[in-house]
A and B are shown apart, each in its own frame.
Chain A
């Protein structure tokens, strides 16, 4: 299948011994000029790149308290060393969060601290040489910004913050990552990551309406760009055609249909994901987020609801109000934004949906907590609602559900292996190896409870698992959307 070995799934998870340099060759394609410039970055490595990088580092430590505090605070205690799925899957010590951070920290020390300036050897401080920059490019693109390390750090140091800063510094000297930057440019030009223009979207949505009607005999609308609708739905563009994402989208449509609300998608803001976060660029993240505000104003909606997408929900829940608020023009009765899970869960609580659980009896399910939903957001009014709501929606839609082992779910969940801007074919080895801890946990419930399918609420998770599960001997269609289960179970036209 590929020129690397898929790790073996062990009976019990084992912390590997370090093997220096096993992933030093892993590098995503570098962005060409045409993908750099729309984002405001130089097209190629600038002449005085070292100085530009140092200046950027100084700027960022002055702009982000997280960075300033995290760079000073690490004591190298080792608490995070066995927490990263990429370390567990690759054994490369530079994939231990502390070592990954140190690639950045050792340069920070050299340039900005007394100890590093005068006693560099003592504290392991180095200049930003070409070799160090190579390491940065390689290993800061082996972090999916999943924040698992931040749960376990006694000071809450979040490697994602360091990775974002490092990527921002690299972008500023002209060394950007093709996958992320090309996608952001596409959003600016067309409105979504996949580059689907309005006519294509319209065509797709009409097709989906036909599918639903054929299957259920009920006309369920998937409206696009409808002015005066009550709810703007923003969903990852993968929902428009990828499997199993699209089954989730049909699920949202059926839920809205049953709730009897008026809703619309927007072609201008036809993307929930915000790759500006992956590259640590506040400006680009803001620019992408503002499209949602503009669409909401333009369509005159009263509420905004996000579809199933992990990092998107982080930006939406945690950052949207900051980046594109205030949303005082929307109905104050509802949080801005809401998650589709909150909407569906509320209907279930109020007994406003008829769900026939037996429609999913061909599956025994488990649930993968998406990293950024779990550790960077919330659903509902209470902390931890992001773990409860999806499970309650799943359990209301099926008869057979089992959780994976405790140390692999909720806040301890593992990333799918493809988050944070790494869901690209040029990082296939990393993606397969990074999925190891989740695959081991899945194997556990497959063997002990006969689990056949894993549900997820993130476009990246779904794409990643569909691609990497076959490497581990699982069927590619054993990953499903949560709203796909709702879609299967929902009995249309029952409650008016």
Chain B
């Protein structure tokens, strides 16, 4: 078994484990921590269905960000939904036969990679050009953008500059899934691309990427506005009543 295959196989097992365990423990923490008071930002929906609609608009349209700042909104939306399509496109490396809808979005996934990169560059530019955003930016914010941009860039390179053996890549990942290791193509651009992706997976649960699970637990967005109709009481607060 080639040395690099072993390294990358182990790397992806470790990265996947850290991502899953890290995220699960964070989600568990958020779910277990009580929200003792009703604090939806009003006007807020007065029914559960209304809250689902509100969350849907936040997740799909970035509604609050749209109200806030059109530049961040357009760059942020391009980046996130570009990345979403690119990720969906990558499902072809994990499924056999490839699901029909994954097949259908392949061409869009290509444009999406450019949209994702452009969005990242726009967001990055703001960190230099807008004095308020420059003030709040720390080194890790730059590194996060660099990491994502490098992932997108190396991915695009393999499409437009130096092709890699994607059939072998698929064999490698399909093999990992069933613990039957297959050799990874020893192509530098691919190895960099995959190394960065594994890095992203590892830092996900210990970085600001936690905004992804976080938004689902945000009390200002996910609470129903019905404090007068229904008494809301957390476990630790009810202890005070004894």
Binding site for B on A (CB under 8 A): 15, 17-18, 20, 61-66, 68-70, 72-83, 93, 96, 98-99, 102, 113-115, 119, 121-124, 147, 150-158, 161, 282-283, 286, 317-319, 321-322, 325-326, 335-337, 374-378, 381-384, 386-387, 411
- Taking the closest CB of chain A, its distance from the CB of B175, in whole angstroms, is 31
- Taking the closest CB of chain B, its distance from the CB of A163, in whole angstroms, is 13
Q: A61-B33, A155-B218 are in contact. Are A123 and B138 (CB under 8 A)?
A: yes
Contact of A155 among B30, B215, B229 (CB under 8 A): B215
4 smallest CB-CB distances across A and B, nearest first, come from: A73-B214, A152-B68, A156-B220, A383-B43
Chain B residue at minimal CB-CB distance from A387: B43
Chain B residue at minimal CB-CB distance from A381: B46
B197-242 residues at the A interface, CB under 8 angstroms? 203, 206-208, 210-211, 214-215, 217-221, 225, 227-229, 231-233, 236-237, 240
Majority SS at the chain B contact face: helix
Contact of A321 among B34, B44, B130, B231 (CB under 8 A): B231
**A122→B137 CA distance, assembly (Å):** 11
Surface stretch bound by A, among B5-13, B59-67, B81-89? B59-67
Surface stretch bound by A, among B112-120, B139-147, B155-163, B185-193? B139-147
In the complex, how many residues of chain B place their beta carbon closer than 8 angstroms to a beta carbon of chain A?
63
Q: A124-B138, A317-B227 are in contact. Are A77 and B42 (CB under 8 A)?
A: no
**A111→B60 CA distance, assembly (Å):** 34
- Taking the closest CB of chain A, its distance from the CB of B205, in whole angstroms, is 9
Enumerate chain B residues within 8 angstroms of A17, measured Cβ to Cβ.
Answer: 131
- Taking the closest CB of chain B, its distance from the CB of A420, in whole angstroms, is 14
Chain B residue at minimal CB-CB distance from A328: B231
Contact of A376 among B39, B68, B72, B229 (CB under 8 A): B39
Q: Are A161 and B214 in contact, with the CB atoms below 8 A?
A: no
Enumerate chain B residues within 8 angstroms of A66, measured Cβ to Cβ.
Answer: 35, 39, 218-220
Subset of 8 A-B contacts with CB under 8 Å: A69-B30, A96-B132, A98-B136, A115-B206, A154-B215, A335-B228, A382-B46, A383-B45
Enumerate chain B residues within 8 angstroms of A336, measured Cβ to Cβ.
Answer: 228
- Taking the closest CB of chain A, its distance from the CB of B15, in whole angstroms, is 15
| Contact bitstring B12-55, A, C-beta under 8 A = 1, else 0 | 00000000000000100110011111110111111000100000
**A443→B234 CA distance, assembly (Å):** 45
Q: Are A75 and B206 in contact, with the CB atoms below 8 A?
A: no
Q: Are A376 and B231 in contact, with the CB atoms below 8 A?
A: no
Q: A122-B143, A157-B218 are in contact. Are A325 and B231 (CB under 8 A)?
A: yes
Q: Are A75 and B211 in contact, with the CB atoms below 8 A?
A: yes
Q: Are A283 and B42 in contact, with the CB atoms below 8 A?
A: no
Q: Which of B42, B123, B130 has the most CB of A within 10 A?
A: B42
Q: Is B58 an interface residue (CB 8 A)?
A: yes
Q: A69-B218, A383-B225 are in contact. Are A322 and B43 (CB under 8 A)?
A: no
Enumerate chain B residues within 8 angstroms of A119, measured Cβ to Cβ.
Answer: 140
**A317→B232 CA distance, assembly (Å):** 12
**A134→B135 CA distance, assembly (Å):** 20
- Taking the closest CB of chain A, its distance from the CB of B128, in whole angstroms, is 12
Q: Which of A20, A98, A156, A375 has the most CB of B within 10 A?
A: A156
Q: A156-B221, A319-B227 are in contact. Are A76 and B208 (CB under 8 A)?
A: yes
**A167→B217 CA distance, assembly (Å):** 24
- Taking the closest CB of chain A, its distance from the CB of B233, in whole angstroms, is 6
Q: Is B180 an interface residue (CB 8 A)?
A: no
Chain B residue at minimal CB-CB distance from A319: B37
Enumerate chain B residues within 8 angstroms of A122, measured Cβ to Cβ.
Answer: 138-140, 143
Q: A64-B35, A81-B133, A151-B64 are in contact. Are A386 and B227 (CB under 8 A)?
A: no
**A434→B130 CA distance, assembly (Å):** 22
